[in-house]
Amino acid sequence: MKAKNYSAIIEDTLTETKALYLFICLVELVLGVFLMFFSEITSQILTIVLGAVLAGVGVFNIISYLMNTSSSFRQGILSGVISTALGIAFIAQAETIVNVTSIILGVFVIFEGLTCCKRSILMKKLDFDKWFIPLIIALLASVFGFLILIFPDFFEDAITIIVGILLAIESILGIWSIIFLISLRKKAEEKLTEDEKKAIVVK
């Protein structure tokens, strides 16, 4: 049986456990709770809130990459600038964008669900026995995200609450996954030789 290349797996976890992704999960948790308890807010206000979230994540992305010289500088600046620009556009053009708010929320849910799926696969590679549990939860959330995109009228007034619940679940799952991956990575690092540790590239 071929031995696992733990050094390559650990490199992947270094990307998935960055402070930026933990910050995004926390922001999505706040947004999810907000949507659950303030489901009657107007679509225009919701669009402004989404813009503020995007702008906040973008600014955090820019700052985190600028402070970390070992990270991919250009990629961090590019994604940060785009996210910040989109956030500002959402806020400035809230009345125009308001009709696609449900689509944006559905994309949020799908994106975070697929990200959690990727982290679940990394858990499997790091020998976590119950890796399939977070995978199933993430897949179900992603399916609901697709349904929201395809049948927004079916959910009607409940769409805000449903998206809020899904975002809250995914963000909690994301936070747990990141923390657990860090723990699994430490155990995997104990199995590496000194040469394998030197071969790991910090992205």
- Domain coverage including residue 15: 6-191
User: In this model, does residue 9 exceed pLDDT 80?
Assistant: no
Does 202 fall in a domain?
A: no
Segment 136-154 shows an average pLDDT of 86
Q: Do the domain assignments include residue 21?
A: yes
Does residue 199 form part of some domain?
no
201 within some domain? no
| Cα Rg of the chain (Å, integer) | 19
Report if residue 177 sits inside a domain: yes
Residue 43 has pLDDT above 90, yes or no: no
- φ, ψ of residue 166 in degrees (nearest 5): -65, -45
Residue 19 lies in a domain: yes
The per-residue pLDDT for 17 is 79
Q: Is residue 182 part of a domain?
A: yes
Report the distance separating Cα 140 and Cα 190, nearest Å: 34
Q: Give the number of domains in the chain.
A: 1
Q: 52-104 pLDDT, tens per residue?
A: 888 887 887 777 667 765 444 455 567 778 888 888 888 888 777 766 777 77
Among 68, 146, 156, 87, residue whose Cα is nearest residue 114: 146
Q: Looking at the domain assignment, is residue 198 inside a domain?
A: no
